[in-house]
Amino acid sequence: MKRDDLTGLALGGNKTRKLAFILHDAIAKGCDTVITAGASQSNHCRQTAAAAAQLQLECHLVLGGQAPDTPNGNLLLDTLFEPKIHWAGQHRKGEDIPKITKALAAQGKKPYVIPYGGSSELGAYSFVNALEELETQIETNTLSHLIFASSSGGTHAGLMLGKALLNKQYELIGINIDKGETDAVPFDQFIINLANKTSQFINANITFSHDDLILNSDYVGEGYGVVGEPEKEAIALMAKHEGILLDPVYTGRAMAGLIDMIRSGKLTQQDKVLFWHTGGAPSLFAYADKFKH
């Protein structure tokens, strides 16, 4: 298991990798304000707010839903970092960002827009870097599968490009978390487009097509953030037997998929599987009612 839940920034998560590159770019461009979007329990927004606090950047979060009476989970942590929170109702993927950015610019700010999930070329490149890091930690030539939660596309695109650059032969399987689409582009096409843009960004001369993508959508259940029995079982098993916390939205669903692939015989004892833990445990507290025994 690759433990990005232990990256350290505000209780960890894979977005820390993306933000290291993205916020460096923001500062290099002279920006004084960052703005991004996500669901009310967004791990990306929590880590963005924390990183902005460290770097003394003004931070604006555009969150889906309505303000609760009592914040919990990631949202509670958000409030501690004191970003400006804009509640956007059904618009959790940044649909309201352009008008907010325009208003900030009119106030004399220099805003830097971070895409939903940090899934830009820079964000994706951070996972090329992450695979290079993995090479220093384990013998990846013996891996048969690398499995992870795929949601906003940047992690998936970066891992695809990194795998190609390193000429690795294992199957890279993204477990789809969300039924929705990104900017009205089908999610599989969005990942391919971002992988190709990132390849061009670093002059890699590698082109991807649908033949290069494995996006398993068998486990989306009733949709994003809707916790079912498979997620609850996966979270309970990992906690009880490994002392490792998964989250209800991303890693719980991805691990549920991995468990099902074992039970169905798609993965066997002969396979060597790496699970990439992308973090998210703070959101467990927001789903406490789902774990009553």
**Catalytically annotated residues:** 42
DSSP structure class, residue 286:
G
Q: Which residues of 45-65 are buried (b: 16+ CB within 10 A; e: fewer)?
A: bbbbbbbbeeeebbbbbbbbe
Residue of 13, 64, 21, 16 whose CA lies nearest to 40: 64
Beta bridge partners of 85: 61
Residue 212 identity: D
- Pair of tokens at residue 154: 């940047």
Residue of 4, 46, 63, 17 whose CA lies nearest to 246: 4
